[in-house]
Amino acid sequence: MSCSNEQRLACMGHQAVRSTKMDGTSKSSKQGKDAYAAGEIDDNEYEVRKRLPFRFPLRKNDVYVTKRTNFKGQMTRCQKLLDNEFSEVYIHGLGAAINRAINLALQIKRNGLGSLDVAVETATVRLTDDLDPLIDTAEPKTRTRLCSAVHIKRFHTASSVYIAVIGSGPAGFYCTETLLKKMNNFHVHMFEKLPVPYGLIRYGVAPDHPEVKNCIKQFEKLADSMPTRFKFYGNVEVGKDISLKEIIKVHLNYHH
């Protein structure tokens, strides 16, 4: 029975969790320490310095996850990349960080509400450690070891959907905010017959009121965070400057 990439990713996450001890070390790392203790290297003779793993030239949509990674920060970064610039992101995890990379990919999937798919690739990376002698009679050495790695590609599966919102008041902006945050493949074009947005927020209430300012800042933040998915067209009156039929034709690909 074959399983999907999503199921495979979830299974890998469960296996990583089960292999983790209460003290935070994994079974494989514990076994490695035992093998290290039984080998030729003596802690009293050598100091181990681990070299950084090899990395290919970094692309802007490559996300490397480590044990010290700020999970929330990486989550936000991946979301911004998918929202604004790229149709896919690549998440890389090595050794003990594999579980964090898997969790990050699964969380992005949940936030995508079905608009994202996954491709998983596993690998084995050869790492090198420098052994610096602590005593005069010992010689400098190096050792190599193998470490598991995972490379996860998250990409959009659905084609882009373009939506027109007529009116830039509170209702229009809150609708736009919901669409853009919930569906990664949605693009919104907002039309307003007045030169500037915000409708009653700007014209119906005192402009210096603190709540008015807070609301305007919130909408400005939304527009700035998704420049390629949100466009505002002011001084455009639907039915006069552009017809409803034209809007439907452009945004919904509807033809009579």
Q: What is the CATH number of the domain that holds 239?
A: 3.40.50.720
Asked if 67 and 80 touch (Cβ cutoff 8 Å), the reply is: no
The model's confidence at residue 22, banded by pLDDT at 50, 70 and 90, is very low
Q: Are residues 91 and 172 in the same domain?
A: no
- Residue 240: predicted pLDDT: 92
- Residue 85: predicted pLDDT: 72
Q: Are residues 239 and 172 in the same domain?
A: yes
The answer to whether residue 3 is domain-embedded is no
Average pLDDT for residues 13-18, to the nearest whole number?
A: 52
Q: Which one, of 119, 113, 112, 118, lies nearest residue 83 by Cα?
A: 112
The model's confidence at residue 4, banded by pLDDT at 50, 70 and 90, is low
Lateral strand order in the sheet of 46-50: 46-50, 116-133, 141-156, 88-94, 62-65
Average pLDDT for residues 221-241, to the nearest whole number?
A: 86
Q: Are residues 217 and 233 in the same domain?
A: yes
123, 156, 189 — which closes off a domain? Answer: 156
- Residue 5: predicted pLDDT: 61
Q: Which tens digits make up the pLDDT trace of 53-109? A: 877 768 889 999 998 889 999 998 988 888 777 878 999 999 999 999 999 998 887
Is the model's pLDDT at 216 over the cut of 90?
no
Asked if 183 and 111 touch (Cβ cutoff 8 Å), the reply is: no
Torsion, Cα 230 236 242 243, to 10 degrees, reads 90
107, 128, 156 — which closes off a domain? Answer: 156
Q: Are residues 152 and 193 in the same domain?
A: no
Q: Which tens digits make up the pLDDT trace of 172-192? A: 888 888 888 777 778 899 999
- Residue 17: predicted pLDDT: 44
Is the model's pLDDT at 236 over the cut of 70?
yes
Contacts of 90 (CB under 8 A, 6+ apart): 59, 61, 62, 63, 151, 152, 153, 154
- Residue 118: predicted pLDDT: 81
- Residue 164: predicted pLDDT: 92
Asked if 174 and 167 touch (Cβ cutoff 8 Å), the reply is: no
The total domain count for the chain is 2
Q: Are residues 194 and 93 in the same domain?
A: no
156, 182, 207 — which closes off a domain? Answer: 156
- Residue 114: predicted pLDDT: 58
Share of the chain above pLDDT 70, in %: 75
Residue with the bigger pLDDT between 216 and 102: it is 102
CA 256 to chain centre: 40
Q: Are residues 98 and 174 in the same domain?
A: no
Q: Are residues 141 and 170 in the same domain?
A: no
CA distances to 68, 71, 88, 232, 248 from 190, rounded to whole Å, are: 41, 33, 26, 5, 13
Average pLDDT for residues 187-202, to the nearest whole number?
A: 84
Average pLDDT value over all residues in the chain: 78
| Residue 55: domain span | 46-156
The model's confidence at residue 40, banded by pLDDT at 50, 70 and 90, is low
Buried b (16+ CB within 10 A) or exposed e, 77-89: ebbebbbeebeeb
The model's confidence at residue 256, banded by pLDDT at 50, 70 and 90, is very low
Is the model's pLDDT at 147 over the cut of 50?
yes
The answer to whether residue 64 is domain-embedded is yes
Integer Cα distance of 138 and 44 in angstroms: 11
Is the model's pLDDT at 31 over the cut of 50?
no
Q: What is the CATH number of the domain that holds 104?
A: 3.30.110.20
The answer to whether residue 176 is domain-embedded is yes
